[in-house]
Structure 1
Amino acid sequence: MAQTIFRRDYCLAACATALSLALTACAVNKQLIPTGGSRADGIVRMSYEYGGFENPKVDLQQGLSSAQQRCGAWGYSGAEPFGGGTRACTSFYQGTCNAWRVTVEYQCTGTPPASR
Structure 2
Amino acid sequence: MKSVIVAIALPLIAGCATPKYWGATGGNPSDGLVQLSYVHTPFEYGQIRASQGLAIATGRCQFWNYARAERAGAQKSVCRTMGQFHCLETTVT
TM-score range, shorter chain: 0.7 to 0.9
Shift of 1:54: 0.3
Is the CA contact (8 Å cut-off) linking 1:36 and 1:46 kept in structure 2? yes
Which residue does 1:33 correspond to in 2?
23
Name the CA distance, whole Å, in 1 between partners of 2:54 and 2:74. Answer: 13
Name the CA distance, whole Å, in 1 between partners of 2:92 and 2:68. Answer: 22
Give percent identity, aligned residues only.
37
Matched, 1:47 2:70: no
> What residue ranges of structure 1 are gaps of 5+ in the alignment?
1-16, 104-116
What secondary structure does 1:94 align onto?
Answer: coil
Counterpart amino acid of residue 63 in structure 2? A
Shift of 1:98: 1.4
Question: What root-mean-square deviation, in Å, do the aligned CA atoms of Structure 1 and Structure 2 show?
Answer: 2.1
Name the CA distance, whole Å, in 2 between partners of 1:83 and 1:41. Answer: 14
Matched, 1:61 2:40: no
Relative to the length of structure 2, the TM-score reads 0.82
1:24-77 alpha-carbon deviations (Å, 9 max, x no partner): 981100010100010011100011001110010001101001100000000100
Is the CA contact (8 Å cut-off) linking 1:31 and 1:59 kept in structure 2? yes
What secondary structure does 1:46 align onto?
Answer: strand
> What residue ranges of structure 2 are gaps of 5+ in the alignment?
1-7
Q: 2:80 aligns with which of 67, 90, 96?
A: 90
Which residue does 1:100 correspond to in 2?
90
Name the CA distance, whole Å, in 1 between partners of 2:32 and 2:26. Answer: 11
Q: How many aligned positions are there?
A: 84
Runs of 4+ in structure 1 off by over 6 angstroms are none
Is the CA contact (8 Å cut-off) linking 1:25 and 1:53 kept in structure 2? no
Q: Specify which structure has the higher proportion of strand.
A: 1
